[in-house]
Chains A and B, each alone.
Chain A
C-alpha cells in the first residue's frame, strides 16, 4: 500500500512535468477524430482529454514508460492498425522526450548546485585571503564554514606548530582534550569522521547531536581539521561535498600562510646577515694610513657572509705604525662574533697600554680573553707587527699565526714562525717580541690559512711552498700587486672548489 502511494505520488509529479507534452499529443488525436485520450496506470484512469470521465469502451492502446513507471495511453473513437502504429510511435516519442527533459533538469540542478558551491568557496577565499596569520585564517574559516554548511557551531584547529591552535565559532562546545582525541582518530583513519547521536551517542558529549570532522591536509599530511557541530537533520551528501571543498580551500590557505612565514623568516635572517656583514666590513679599516717608508695593501674575503678573520692598522702621531691580522677558529656567525670582540680588545690594548710592544699587546689580550675563549671552546691566532722607520726594523709577536712570509730584497722567502700558542689556549701567553730588518724592497706578507689550505678540485692544498715561491716572484712589484697576485693565484688554483675558509691578507713592503 505504501508502495502504491509513493508510486502514485511519483506519477502525479510525472504528470505535472510532462503535462504539456501529453496535452499536445492528446489535442492532435482529438483533431484526428478521436473522442477521447487518456492515461492509465494499473487500470486506473489518471488523466483524460477532454477533461471528462471517459467511458470504458473500445479503444486502441500503447504502453509507455515514464521515468521507470509503466503507464498506458488509450485513444477512443478510432481503430485500425494504422492508428495503433501511430499511437505506439507517439508513446515512444513521449518517453524519449520525457527522458531527455529529465536529464536536462538534473543537469541544470547540478549546475546550480556547483554554482552555489563555487560562490560559497569564493566567499570563503575572499574572507581568508587577506590574512596570512594562522589565527586570523582559522577564525575566518570557522565562521564561514559554519555559515556555508548551515551548522549552528563549528571550530577550526591547526597542529602544524605548537601549541595547537583552536578557534571556536561562536562558542566552545567541544573541549580541547575531546577535540584532540577526535583528531587522533582522524589521523589514524585518514578520512572524515561523521558521528550522530542516534548511532554514536555514547561518543558524543551532552548537547551534541551531530558532528562532522573534516581533515585539513598541509603538504599531504593531516595537520588540521574543520569541525561542524549540531546541524539540524544531520549532514547530507551535498554538505559532505561542500565540507570537503572548504577543507581543501583551507589547506591551500594554510600552505600559503606557511610559505609566507618561511620566506618572511628567511628574508629576516638574510637581512640580519647583511647587516652583520656590513658591520663587519666597517670594522676593517676603511682606508689604510699613509706610512712613511712603507707601501701597504690589505684585503679580506670571507668564505660565508660573515667571517672570523680580521686585520687592523693603527698609526698614531709620534708612535710607530702598528698592524695586526687575526683568525678565529671556525667560520660563520660564531667566529664573526668573537672576531669583533678580539679586534676591539687588541685595538684597545694597542692604544692604551703604556708598553705597547707587540708581545705585550698579545699577552695582555690573552689575559683578558682567555676565559671567554675557553667558555666557547675557541681560540684565535694573531700576528701583531710594529714598524720602526728610523731603525728599519719590524718588531712582531706571533701567537700561533701562519702563514707569515718574509722576503728580504732579492733573497729567498721564508716563514716567520710563531713562538707561542694562539690566544685562548694557555692561561698565560709565552709570546715574545721578535725582530727582522725591514729595508726598502723587503716584503712581509701576513696571510690566513684560507690561503695555504685552499684546495683545488682534486682536494690538493695550495700549501706553503707555492705561497713562498709566489711571494718571491711578486716581491719586485708594489704591495697592491703582490696582494692581488696572491688572491688571483689562489682563486685560479681552487677554481671549481668552493672557498672553505676566510682569506685575509696584509702586505707591507719597505719603500
Chain B
C-alpha cells in the first residue's frame, strides 16, 4: 500500500493505494499521529479493505472527533463501498464522491 499525504488549509488529506489490510494498517496509524484533527482519507486507489483496516479508520474517526474534528472518506471503489454498506459503517462515516466534496464538507461543518 502506498501512502501520500498533503495539507489543504487545516485539513490533512491522505491518499492510499493498493490493499489496505492488517499488514499495511500500522503505517497509517503512524500517519494519524501527526495529522490535524480534520482528516480526509482518499480511497480512490484502494481495491480491498479488511476488518483491521476498518478498525483503524474507526479509531481515526473517533480520535478526530475527540479533538473537535472529523474524518471523511472519499472516492470509494465499488468493492470497498460494498464493505462499508454491508457493515453499515457508511452510517458512521461521512463518505463523499470525491476529495473536493469531502474537503468542502469538512470545511463547512466547522464554519
Binding site for B on A (CB under 8 A): 327, 329-330, 374, 377-379, 381, 399-403, 415, 417-422, 424-426, 430, 449, 453, 501
Contacts and interface: CB of A to CB of B under 8 A. Distances in A.
A400 to B, nearest CB: 4
B88 A419 contact: yes
B62 interface: yes
B51 A329 contact: yes
25 contacts: A329-B54, A330-B22, A330-B51, A377-B55, A377-B56, A377-B58, A378-B55, A379-B55, A381-B87, A400-B86, A402-B86, A402-B87, A417-B88, A418-B86, A421-B87, A421-B89, A421-B92, A422-B88, A422-B89, A424-B58, A425-B89, A426-B91, A426-B92, A449-B51, A501-B51
A400 B87 contact: yes
Interface string B37-64: 0000000000000111011101100100
B87 A329 contact: no
Contact of A415 (B62, B86, B87): B86
B85 interface: yes
A467 to B, nearest CB: 12
Closest 5 CB pairs of A and B: A377-B59, A400-B87, A402-B86, A329-B55, A418-B88
User: Helix, strand, loop or mixed for chain A's interface?
Assistant: loop
Which of B22, B50, B59, B87 has most A Cβ within 10 Å?
A: B87
B58 A400 contact: no
A378 B55 CA distance: 6
Contacts of A424: 58
Nearest to A327: B51
Nearest to A328: B51
Contacts, number: 56
Interface size class of B (residues with CB under 8 A): 10 to 19
Interface string B10-44: 00000000000010000000000000000000000
A66 to B, nearest CB: 81
Nearest to B52: A330
B8 to A, nearest CB: 26
A417 to B, nearest CB: 6
Contacts of B85: 417
A417 B88 CA distance: 8
A36 B106 CA distance: 126
Contacts of A379: 54-55, 58
Contact of B89 (A330, A400, A417): A400
Nearest to A431: B88
Nearest to A399: B88
Contact of A420 (B51, B54, B88): B88
A392 B39 CA distance: 48
A377 B50 CA distance: 15
Contacts of A400: 86-89
Contacts of B56: 377
Of the listed residues B22, B58, B85, the one surrounded by the most CB atoms of chain A closer than 10 A to its CB is B58
Nearest to B53: A329
A418 B54 CA distance: 16
B81 to A, nearest CB: 13
Given A377-B58, A417-B88, A418-B87, 11 more contacts: A329-B52, A329-B55, A377-B55, A378-B55, A379-B55, A400-B86, A400-B87, A415-B86, A419-B88, A421-B91, A425-B58
